[in-house]
Amino acid sequence: MFGLITKVSQWSIPLILILILAAAHKNKVRIYEVFVQGALEGLRTTFRLTPYILAIFVAIGLFRSSGALNLCINIAKPLLDLLRIPPDLLTLALLKPLSGSAALGITADLLQKYGPDSTMGLIASLAQGCSETTFYVLSLYLGSVNIREGRHTLLMGLTSEMAAFFMAISLGSFLFG
Amino acid sequence: MINTVWLLLLISGIITAAVTGKIALVSEVIFVNTSKAIEFSIGLAGTIAFWSGILKVAEAAGVTAQIAKLFRPFLNKLFPALTGHTKVLGTIALALSANLLGLGNVATPLGLETMAQLQKLNPNKDRVSKEIATFLALILGGLTVLPSTLIAIRAQAGSKNPAIIIIPVFLISLFGTFVGLIFNQLAYRVLIWHHRKE
């Protein structure tokens, strides 16, 4: 099973490329020229995105390294004990909307600490797998087209994140507990 | 709202550093993270440029239109206002498929391209349109069929069955996406109602 999945993920990108190139060749598209034009547009987009990336990296860096994140977790701890949510999982839930790589690091730590096939390791895996980096995606996506009013989208993303998180805990305890 | 969040992250960081006697950390953290952000952007520039180029080829070859056709019943329900806009629907379908397959590097450029196309149809350029909100609900829901990075770190940690989480992850992300879409619908009712009152 695992071998098959590794194969699928290794093959998907080359296959997509071959499919697109073959279709382009068949329809007599001037592949190289069209590609270069698209790539230029892509570079312009990234250039516009850099300030947003900068803003997120600095804010999250400060929030984490200063210990403010840990403080939040300690404050929330009594409530968590009441809901029977392990504090380690809260770190993951709080970090995931902010930074994908940081959350991945935490998940890797949790897997080391509890074992990947323990209940806790499996729940952490589910929580990691079901969520998106809400702040990052939103500021990138809205920033790239200069939308200033996000309206309800941030709240929407966080709601769906929270729903998935609680579902991960309950389904995880049910399936692997 | 993003203004408040950013302010809170920065201020709480600086205050915590000051109170715990680590104030020197602030300028160091700023320096390290600004460099990291620029490095990250440069890395991102390459992938985004490459896949934007390939996407342009796919469009010219008619691949996006084909994919739009495949997803049509599902997309027509979610984006009733976009019926007939094959190019936009095709890009949405591609972006969603890349997310489903966990192809992060491809998903971001496709997502950004979709945003650009949806923004062209947006009557108020400063504000999220209904279609953009629905697209964001789908992306933020994080629907995944093949969480390849997660499987890889589970394997690395020595799991006997690293892929066991695939089906639960799919179900939970489906649930999360569903909650996001419902929230979106409800929020629109409230927004419209609010608008009328003004």
CB contact burial B103-114 (16+ within 10 A = b; e otherwise): beebbbbbbbbb
B8-28 mean pLDDT: 93
State the pLDDT at residue A23: 93
In this complex, the residue of B36, B144, B175 whose CB is nearest that of residue A129 is: B144
Measured between beta carbons, the chain B residues lying within 8 angstroms of A50 are 37-38, 41
Q: Average pLDDT of chain A?
A: 88
Which residues have a Cβ under 8 Å from the Cβ of A74 and sit 6 or more positions away?
none
ipTM, 2 dp: 0.86
**Better pLDDT: A164 or B48:** A164
Number of A:B CB contacts under 8 A?
337
- pLDDT of residue A3 exceeding 80, the answer is no
Which helix (H) or strand (E) covers residue A107, if one does?
Answer: helix A100-114
Interface test with A, best of B3, B8, B9, B29 (most A CBs within 10 A): B9
Q: Are B159 and A140 within 8 A, CB to CB?
A: no
B103: helix, strand or coil: coil
Q: HEC profile for B43-89?
A: HHHHHHHHHHHHHHHHHHHCHHHHHHHHHHHHHHHHCHHHCCCHHHH
Query: Contact, B96 vs B78, CB < 8 A?
Result: no
Mean pLDDT score, A10-38: 91
In this predicted model, what pLDDT tens digit does every residue of B163-192 receive, in sequence order? 889 889 999 999 999 999 999 999 988 877
Residue A12 has a pLDDT of: 78
Which phi and psi (to 5°) does residue A149 adopt? -95, 105
- Mean of the pLDDT values across residues A123-136? 89
What mean pLDDT is reported for chain B? 89
pTM for this one? 0.87
- Say whether A12 and B41 touch across the interface (CB within 8 A): no
The A residues from 74 to 93 touching B (CB cutoff 8 Å) are none
**DSSP characters over A11-71:** HHHHHHHHHHHHHHHHTT--HHHHHHHHHHHHHHHHHHHHHHHHHHHHHHHHHHHTTHHHH
The reported pLDDT for the residue numbered A37 is 94
Question: Do residue A147 and residue B158 have CB atoms under 8 angstroms apart?
Answer: no
State mean pLDDT over A24-37: 94
In whole angstroms, give the CA distance from residue A164 to residue A170.
10
Residues counted in chain A: 177
CA atoms of B198 and B11, how far apart (whole Å): 34
Is A132 a residue whose pLDDT tops 90?
Answer: no
Residue matched to tokens 């489903």: B100
Q: Is the pLDDT of residue B196 over 70?
A: no
Query: Is B186 in the A-facing interface, judged by CB distances under 8 Å?
Result: no
Is the Cβ–Cβ distance between A152 and B127 less than 8 Å? no
Asked if B176 and A130 come within 8 Å (Cβ–Cβ), the reply is: yes
For the ranges A143-147, B82-86, B134-138, B146-150, which has the lowest average pLDDT?
B146-150
User: Residue B56: pLDDT above 60?
Assistant: yes
> What pLDDT, in 10s, does the model give residues A35-89?
999 999 889 888 888 898 898 889 989 998 999 988 888 888 888 788 777 888 8
Check whether B10 has a pLDDT greater than 90.
yes
CA A106, chain centre distance (Å): 13
Q: How far is B83 from chain A (nearest CA, A)?
A: 22
Q: Do A138 and B136 touch (CB under 8 A)?
A: yes
pLDDT at A44 (0 to 100): 87
SS3 content of chain B, % helix, strand, coil (to 5): 80, 0, 15
Percent of chain A past pLDDT 70, that is, above it, reads: 98
pLDDT at residue B104 tops 80: no
